[in-house]
Structure 1
Amino acid sequence: MTAYVRAQRTGTEAFARELLREQNQTLRAIANILDVAVLGCDGTGRPILYHQAARDLVGDRLEGCAAEHRPERLHLHHPDGPPLDPAYQPLVRALRGEPVRDAEVVTRMPGQPRRISSPAP
């Protein structure tokens, strides 16, 4: 590989990194103005977007927690009452490639009011 090709590739990679950084900042700014909790996850279920309203809702309960264990950690339930089976958690379903639309999940954290979320993948 010539020095010219190396310089071209380095410049393109730097531009792509800068563009990605700007998009990330914009997405975080949008999430921060929302008064609802927004948790964005990567393809493995690891949270990558976790703004203040989300921190207020779940605190540090997601630290080191695999997606399939979140129903217990977050006290997730079906809207009609029973605890949510980990296999049917919207995030786990989305990670399996299943389309998820209008999935209602109730969060019943001890000492906090009941909250309902309807995630969109």
Structure 2
Amino acid sequence: MLVMQIKSNAFAKLNFVEYDSHYSFATRLKHDLLTRSAGYVAADRREKKYVVMTVNAGQYMWTNVEAYPKMGEMNRSNKFTIAANTITHIGQLDIFIADMRYTLNVTSLADPHLYSK
């Protein structure tokens, strides 16, 4: 089970897939076409919200942020692990979108991250 808190300054969709150390645009198309995408999290500008999702145990990675009509790709360094038979809280996710850029700030007590593109 995956638990997080998420907020954004605009409606955004944050996608994730099973971790792949050779992930590229081509593998993203393969994931999309074969519906191997693990899931997504939607955020809106009203307020932060808690998300609870059933996700199989394993390693995952964020792939992109979609804020219509734009999309920003992420690199492979943003993986996270879902442990078996536990509730995994990955922290608070803050998405900030401005013009042609986005910033994803992941804050947890154990391991804070900042992804920007």
User: Which TM-score tier does this pair reach, normalised by the shorter chain?
Assistant: under 0.3
| Structure with greater Cα Rg | 1
More relative contact order, 1 or 2 (CA 8 Å, 6+ apart): 2
Q: TM-score if structure 2 supplies the norm length?
A: 0.28
Q: TM-score if structure 1 supplies the norm length?
A: 0.27
More strand by share: 2
More helix by share: 1
